[in-house]
Structure 1
Amino acid sequence: MKRRLILASALVLSALPMGSLWASAGSTPTMTAATSTSGAAEVSLDAVVEAVRQATLSTQVAGTIVGLSVKAGDRVRAGQELLRIDASAAQQQVVGSSAQLEAAQANLNVASKELERQKQLFQKQYISQGALDRAQAQWEAARAQVQAQQAQTRAAQTQTGFFSVRAPFNGVVSDVAVTLGDMAMPGRPMLTLHDQSALRVSAAVPQSMLDGVRSQLSAVRYEIAGQSAQTVTVGTAQLLPAVDPVTHTAQLRLALPAGTEGLAPGMFARVWVPGGKTSASAPNAKAAPVFLPVSAVVRRAEMTGVYVMDAQGKPRLRQVRLGRVNGPNVEILSGVSAGEQVVTDPSSVTSKPLKAAP
């Protein structure tokens, strides 16, 4: 009985015309992909999140690292000790210099007493003026020796401070390039520190777009880590006056609000700047982007695509690369060209049952 039903169904399908299998495609809602006039007035630029304050710490002296109190990701305070180098030799120099200072002060005391005696003898005319002058000179030499030794002692004490690396400001440790037992050398990078509370977005603006961007800084927008595009606040956008002689671009910096969570230096960002007159050859720029409804996008595992009608009027799934979201529409960076017919409701293609043509 089942075999007869299957055979009957096959005969019915074979009697249907071939076009009836795609009869639902004829009623599939579609639209013509076109460039957006509002999008044409903006140009998308690749950008990166940067820290306004970032420091790579090193040491001024050589020695073995004997203390490492932080690791990458730790929050530190200004003045907190991050790394310590063996300072045994420097401490011995401080001890020796302090002993020499005490000896110089003892000599100064002797010279002071001798000068007082010589003054008393001179008043009684027991000694000559030359003897008094020699006593005065010995006292001045002893005093100068004390001052020199004091300076040397302070220098030795300051030198011991170089063996302790401290945080210059409140921030987060980005990277630790050394371990316990390593040899620290002057100028060798050991730790990287950045201020998480002060971040910015930096983008390279082509030379041909500088005039337009400079006059419309308030219209600049940015997007970070898949978040919705944000408009910069007044006074937070800065276009540097210098142009790189190699890339012929100027740096555009957008200050981010303090306390924004989930951001870190090095993150990819995207910036949209006014640039309707930008040439198509400008790097990282698109003069006329294509926008489609968000509902037209199909996501299957790691593939993102849309259904595009082919020459026979049949919907074909095509992979695309998405850009910014502008309300109900999304920018299509690649995969669809202006003028192509795109299915706006993918469920009408995948879920409608087959039916015979009337």
Structure 2
Amino acid sequence: MRNLVLMISLAVLMSACGGDSDVAKLKSKLESIEKDIQEKTIEAAELEEKIAKMDPEFAKKTEQSVLIKSATIAKSDFKHKIQVQGEVASRKNITMGAETMGRVMQINVTPGDMVKRNQLLVKMDASTTENSIKELKTALDLASTIYKKQKNLWEQEIGTEVQYLEAKNRKETLERQLATAQSQLNMAYLKAPFNGRINDVNVNMGEMVQPGMPVLSMVSQEEMYLKAAVSEEYINDFSQGDSVEVYLPSIKKSFSTVVSSVSYVINPANRTFQLEVKVNEFLENLKPNQFARLTLVDYENENAIVVPSEVVQQDNVGDFIYLVKTKDNQKKAEKVRIERGKTFNGKTEILKGIEAGDVIISQGYREAVNGIAVRLAK
């Protein structure tokens, strides 16, 4: 009815434009037509309402409705995850420094070499210490012989106790001096403390080194792990044994592991705490400081009411969802206020407002209004 009146009005206006060029008359004609349209629209609405009361079939034809799809809500497991940047680290990534002053006399390794525990890596000049050891060994041999003879005499009650004690003291003093010299000699020999790979050599043959000066660095893949700095906002959300998904962009590999430790000290510089993760795969491809992406579950609800995030709408009051309710044998949209929880991966947890078994409008919710009739799409 409304469309018919509008078409007639437009036709009258167009005909008037063709025969009369007076703008004032056209405006007056337009106002008259608009007023007539308003009156006819009101009259048509009143007639539709009267006819609908007298003829139910006519009411069904004229009643407004929207086409929708629905979904029944059921409780499910909901997980919220966060991603943090981490890096590969090793507990056996060390820089070995000189323990004594000396000249580098021998370098047995180059960067990239695999070495075994106790293997000699670098030797420094220790000729003075070596000569001292030889002298001490000669003196110790003599002192040991004298001690044994003096001990035998003392056991036979020959000689004095002072002679016996002096011989014993001389022998023990030389033994300690020899042990000290041997320790000094060992400091001139840099040996591998564990099985690993040489990363860098910082000295050259014939170079003088001082105590503490870096000589070489080495690393082992035996005790690799991942570490990440996590915002203090999550300090109580993770614990040892929590599952972690790891992605290594440089080698395009992923694997699952667990949290091995959580620091309980906040770094005041960036307000983060350190989280460590076990590494159990792709060890041969890992290197210290290699980038990694960690995905961790910071929240989980095994009996959550979860809906697609897109169906949650907002107005000036707050969040709401449209449910499908049957009233007077007809399905209608019902606007329900809800309290939302966390959102992740296109899913939103609903804390209040709906429950398991409710039917939500999953498609067509944009066209719905509270109380409007709905038709379910096949």
TM-score class, shorter-chain normalisation, is 0.5 to 0.7
Query: Could you tell me which residue of structure 1 aligns to residue 334 of structure 2?
Result: none
Query: Could you tell me which residue of structure 2 aligns to residue 91 of structure 1?
Result: 130
Q: Distance in 1 between matches of 2:152 and 2:227?
A: 70
Query: Could you tell me which residue of structure 2 aligns to residue 65 of structure 1?
Result: 104
Query: Could you tell me which residue of structure 2 aligns to residue 204 of structure 1?
Result: 229
User: Residues 262 and 275 of structure 2 are in contact (CA less than 8 Å); yes or no, is this contact kept in structure 1?
Assistant: yes
Q: Distance in 1 between matches of 2:260 and 2:241?
A: 10
Which aligned pairs between 1:146-185 and structure 2 lie closer than 5 A? 146-185=171-210
1:47 is aligned, of 83, 86, 92, to 86
> What SS is found at the alignment partner of 2:283?
coil
- TM-fit CA distance, 1:84: 0.7
Letter in 1 for 2:292: A
User: Residues 50 and 202 of structure 1 are in contact (CA less than 8 Å); yes or no, is this contact kept in structure 2?
Assistant: yes
- TM-fit CA distance, 1:215: 8.5
Whose Rg is larger? 2
User: Residues 75 and 172 of structure 1 are in contact (CA less than 8 Å); yes or no, is this contact kept in structure 2?
Assistant: yes
- TM-fit CA distance, 1:116: 7.3
Q: Which runs of 4+ in 1 moved over 6 A?
A: none
* Alignment partner of 1:233 is 2:272: no
The Cα offsets for residues 122-164 of structure 1, whole Å up to 9 and x where unpaired, read as: xxxxxxxxxx6xx221122112111111221222223212211
User: Residues 227 and 276 of structure 2 are in contact (CA less than 8 Å); yes or no, is this contact kept in structure 1?
Assistant: yes
User: Residues 47 and 201 of structure 1 are in contact (CA less than 8 Å); yes or no, is this contact kept in structure 2?
Assistant: yes
User: Residues 65 and 85 of structure 1 are in contact (CA less than 8 Å); yes or no, is this contact kept in structure 2?
Assistant: yes
The Cα offsets for residues 224-274 of structure 1, whole Å up to 9 and x where unpaired, read as: 13455635334x543223222322211111221255332211212222233
Letter in 2 for 1:168: P
Q: Distance in 2 between matches of 1:200 and 1:271?
A: 12
Q: Distance in 1 between matches of 2:266 and 2:155?
A: 72
Q: Distance in 2 between matches of 1:178 and 1:148?
A: 37
- TM-fit CA distance, 1:111: 4.1
Richer in strand (by share): 2
- TM-fit CA distance, 1:94: 0.5
User: Residues 221 and 229 of structure 1 are in contact (CA less than 8 Å); yes or no, is this contact kept in structure 2?
Assistant: no
* Alignment partner of 1:76 is 2:115: yes
Q: Distance in 1 between matches of 2:237 and 2:151?
A: 78
* Alignment partner of 1:262 is 2:285: yes
Q: Distance in 2 between matches of 1:266 and 1:154?
A: 41
Which aligned pairs between 1:281-320 and structure 2 lie closer than 5 A? none
The structure-2 alpha-carbon separation of the partners of 1:94 and 1:230, relative to structure 1 and needing over 3 Å to count, comes to: same
User: Residues 232 and 254 of structure 1 are in contact (CA less than 8 Å); yes or no, is this contact kept in structure 2?
Assistant: no
> What SS is found at the alignment partner of 2:239?
helix
Query: Could you tell me which residue of structure 1 aligns to residue 17 of structure 2?
Result: none
User: Residues 198 and 258 of structure 1 are in contact (CA less than 8 Å); yes or no, is this contact kept in structure 2?
Assistant: no
- TM-fit CA distance, 1:206: 0.6
The structure-2 alpha-carbon separation of the partners of 1:118 and 1:270, relative to structure 1 and needing over 3 Å to count, comes to: closer
Letter in 2 for 1:95: K
Q: How many pairs were matched up?
A: 225
- TM-fit CA distance, 1:110: 6.2
Query: Could you tell me which residue of structure 2 aligns to residue 299 of structure 1?
Result: none
Letter in 2 for 1:179: N
- TM-fit CA distance, 1:166: 0.7
Q: Distance in 1 between matches of 2:250 and 2:157?
A: 88
Identity between Structure 1 and Structure 2 (%):
24
User: Residues 49 and 266 of structure 1 are in contact (CA less than 8 Å); yes or no, is this contact kept in structure 2?
Assistant: yes
RMSD of Structure 2 on Structure 1 (CA): 3.1
The structure-2 alpha-carbon separation of the partners of 1:216 and 1:70, relative to structure 1 and needing over 3 Å to count, comes to: closer
Bigger drift between 61-70 and 176-185 goes to 176-185
Q: Distance in 1 between matches of 2:103 and 2:166?
A: 40
Bigger drift between 71-80 and 179-188 goes to 179-188
Letter in 2 for 1:194: V
Q: Distance in 2 between matches of 1:215 and 1:103?
A: 62
Instruction: Name the TM-score, length of structure 2 as normaliser.
Output: 0.53
The Cα offsets for residues 17-39 of structure 1, whole Å up to 9 and x where unpaired, read as: xxxxxxxxxxxxxxxxxxxxxxx
Q: Distance in 2 between matches of 1:143 and 1:276?
A: 72
> What SS is found at the alignment partner of 1:67?
strand
Letter in 1 for 2:256: V
The structure-2 alpha-carbon separation of the partners of 1:115 and 1:199, relative to structure 1 and needing over 3 Å to count, comes to: closer
Instruction: Name the TM-score, length of structure 1 as normaliser.
Output: 0.56
Q: Distance in 1 between matches of 2:174 and 2:143?
A: 7
The structure-2 alpha-carbon separation of the partners of 1:72 and 1:116, relative to structure 1 and needing over 3 Å to count, comes to: closer
Query: Could you tell me which residue of structure 1 aligns to residue 147 of structure 2?
Result: 108
Q: Relative contact order (C-alpha < 8 Å, sep 6+): which is higher?
A: 1
User: Residues 103 and 209 of structure 2 are in contact (CA less than 8 Å); yes or no, is this contact kept in structure 1?
Assistant: yes
Q: Distance in 2 between matches of 1:254 and 1:274?
A: 14
Q: Distance in 2 between matches of 1:226 and 1:137?
A: 75
